[in-house]
Structure 1
Amino acid sequence: MVLNVSALVLFGTVAFLFFRRDGLKMSHAIVCALFGFYIAGSSIAPSITAGGASLASLLGGIKF
Protein backbone atom coordinates (compact mmCIF):
# COMPACT_ATOMS: atom_id res chain seq x y z
CA MET A 1 0.00 0.00 0.00
CA VAL A 2 2.86 2.40 0.77
CA LEU A 3 4.28 1.83 -2.71
CA ASN A 4 0.90 2.59 -4.28
CA VAL A 5 0.53 5.87 -2.40
CA SER A 6 4.11 6.91 -3.19
CA ALA A 7 3.69 6.10 -6.87
CA LEU A 8 0.33 7.86 -6.91
CA VAL A 9 1.82 11.04 -5.47
CA LEU A 10 4.85 10.85 -7.78
CA PHE A 11 2.88 10.31 -10.99
CA GLY A 12 0.27 12.88 -9.98
CA THR A 13 2.91 15.53 -9.37
CA VAL A 14 4.73 14.76 -12.62
CA ALA A 15 1.47 14.79 -14.61
CA PHE A 16 0.52 18.14 -13.06
CA LEU A 17 3.91 19.63 -13.94
CA PHE A 18 3.68 18.30 -17.51
CA PHE A 19 0.30 19.95 -18.02
CA ARG A 20 1.49 23.23 -16.53
CA ARG A 21 4.69 23.49 -18.57
CA ASP A 22 4.26 21.70 -21.91
CA GLY A 23 1.68 20.30 -24.24
CA LEU A 24 0.81 16.62 -24.01
CA LYS A 25 3.56 14.52 -25.58
CA MET A 26 3.80 10.72 -25.76
CA SER A 27 5.95 10.50 -22.63
CA HIS A 28 3.46 12.70 -20.80
CA ALA A 29 0.60 10.46 -21.90
CA ILE A 30 2.43 7.42 -20.52
CA VAL A 31 2.89 9.14 -17.15
CA CYS A 32 -0.81 10.08 -17.12
CA ALA A 33 -1.77 6.49 -17.92
CA LEU A 34 0.40 5.21 -15.07
CA PHE A 35 -1.18 7.81 -12.77
CA GLY A 36 -4.62 6.51 -13.76
CA PHE A 37 -3.51 2.93 -13.20
CA TYR A 38 -2.29 3.67 -9.69
CA ILE A 39 -5.32 5.80 -8.80
CA ALA A 40 -7.62 2.95 -9.89
CA GLY A 41 -5.88 0.63 -7.43
CA SER A 42 -6.02 3.07 -4.54
CA SER A 43 -8.60 3.29 -1.77
CA ILE A 44 -10.13 6.46 -3.23
CA ALA A 45 -11.15 4.77 -6.50
CA PRO A 46 -14.75 4.03 -5.33
CA SER A 47 -15.19 7.67 -4.30
CA ILE A 48 -13.95 8.89 -7.68
CA THR A 49 -16.28 6.48 -9.47
CA ALA A 50 -19.26 7.58 -7.37
CA GLY A 51 -18.41 11.25 -7.93
CA GLY A 52 -18.14 10.72 -11.68
CA ALA A 53 -21.47 8.90 -11.78
CA SER A 54 -23.08 11.64 -9.73
CA LEU A 55 -21.73 14.35 -12.03
CA ALA A 56 -22.89 12.43 -15.11
CA SER A 57 -26.41 12.06 -13.74
CA LEU A 58 -26.45 15.75 -12.79
CA LEU A 59 -25.40 16.79 -16.29
CA GLY A 60 -27.79 14.28 -17.85
CA GLY A 61 -30.71 15.75 -15.92
CA ILE A 62 -30.27 19.29 -17.25
CA LYS A 63 -33.17 20.30 -19.51
CA PHE A 64 -32.72 22.94 -22.18
Structure 2
Amino acid sequence: MAVSISAVILLGIVVFVLIRGGYVRLSNALACALFGFFLASTGAAPLINDAVSTVTGWISSI
Protein backbone atom coordinates (compact mmCIF):
# COMPACT_ATOMS: atom_id res chain seq x y z
CA MET A 1 0.00 0.00 0.00
CA ALA A 2 2.79 2.44 0.82
CA VAL A 3 4.40 1.81 -2.55
CA SER A 4 1.23 2.61 -4.48
CA ILE A 5 0.64 5.82 -2.51
CA SER A 6 4.17 7.05 -3.09
CA ALA A 7 3.92 6.09 -6.78
CA VAL A 8 0.72 8.12 -7.07
CA ILE A 9 2.37 11.13 -5.44
CA LEU A 10 5.48 10.83 -7.61
CA LEU A 11 3.49 10.47 -10.83
CA GLY A 12 1.22 13.34 -9.79
CA ILE A 13 4.24 15.59 -9.32
CA VAL A 14 5.62 14.55 -12.72
CA VAL A 15 2.31 15.33 -14.42
CA PHE A 16 2.06 18.67 -12.62
CA VAL A 17 5.57 19.66 -13.72
CA LEU A 18 4.90 18.58 -17.30
CA ILE A 19 1.66 20.59 -17.43
CA ARG A 20 3.31 23.67 -15.88
CA GLY A 21 6.27 23.37 -18.26
CA GLY A 22 3.98 23.28 -21.28
CA TYR A 23 5.09 19.84 -22.41
CA VAL A 24 1.66 18.29 -21.83
CA ARG A 25 -1.69 19.99 -22.15
CA LEU A 26 -4.30 19.57 -19.45
CA SER A 27 -6.65 17.72 -21.81
CA ASN A 28 -3.93 15.17 -22.62
CA ALA A 29 -3.16 14.66 -18.94
CA LEU A 30 -6.85 14.14 -18.16
CA ALA A 31 -7.15 11.62 -21.00
CA CYS A 32 -4.19 9.67 -19.61
CA ALA A 33 -5.62 9.80 -16.09
CA LEU A 34 -8.98 8.51 -17.30
CA PHE A 35 -7.24 5.77 -19.27
CA GLY A 36 -5.41 4.68 -16.13
CA PHE A 37 -8.59 4.82 -14.09
CA PHE A 38 -10.48 2.60 -16.51
CA LEU A 39 -7.47 0.31 -17.00
CA ALA A 40 -7.49 -0.32 -13.25
CA SER A 41 -10.93 -1.90 -13.54
CA THR A 42 -9.89 -4.40 -16.23
CA GLY A 43 -8.29 -7.80 -15.96
CA ALA A 44 -4.88 -6.25 -16.66
CA ALA A 45 -4.80 -4.47 -13.28
CA PRO A 46 -3.41 -7.42 -11.26
CA LEU A 47 -0.66 -7.99 -13.83
CA ILE A 48 0.32 -4.33 -13.75
CA ASN A 49 0.32 -4.30 -9.94
CA ASP A 50 2.50 -7.41 -9.85
CA ALA A 51 4.94 -5.91 -12.37
CA VAL A 52 5.22 -2.66 -10.43
CA SER A 53 5.68 -4.56 -7.16
CA THR A 54 8.41 -6.70 -8.73
CA VAL A 55 10.28 -3.69 -10.09
CA THR A 56 10.06 -1.79 -6.80
CA GLY A 57 11.25 -4.93 -5.01
CA TRP A 58 14.28 -5.12 -7.29
CA ILE A 59 15.03 -1.43 -6.77
CA SER A 60 14.75 -1.69 -2.99
CA SER A 61 17.12 -4.68 -2.89
CA ILE A 62 19.91 -2.69 -4.60
TM exceeding 0.5? yes
Counterpart amino acid of residue 32 in structure 2: C
Q: Which residue of 2 aligns with 1:43?
A: 43
How much does 1:33 deviate? Answer: 0.6
* Counterpart AA for 1:44: A
- Please list the CA deviations of residues 20-52 of structure 1 after superposition, one character each: whole Å capped at 9, or x if unmatched: xx8211101110111101110110100000000
State the TM-score, normalized to the length of structure 1. 0.60
Whose relative contact order is higher, 1 or 2, with alpha carbons under 8 Å and at least 6 apart?
1
Work out which of the two has the higher radius of gyration on C-alpha atoms and give 1 or 2.
Answer: 1
Equivalences, count: 41
Question: Over the residues paired in the alignment, what is the CA RMSD in angstroms?
Answer: 1.4
Runs of 4+ with >2 A deviation: none
Query: In structure 2, what is the Cα distance between the partners aligned to 1:44 and 1:35?
Result: 13
Specify every segment of 5 or more residues in structure 2 that has no aligned partner in the other structure, as ranges: 1-21
Q: Identity of paired residues, percent?
A: 32
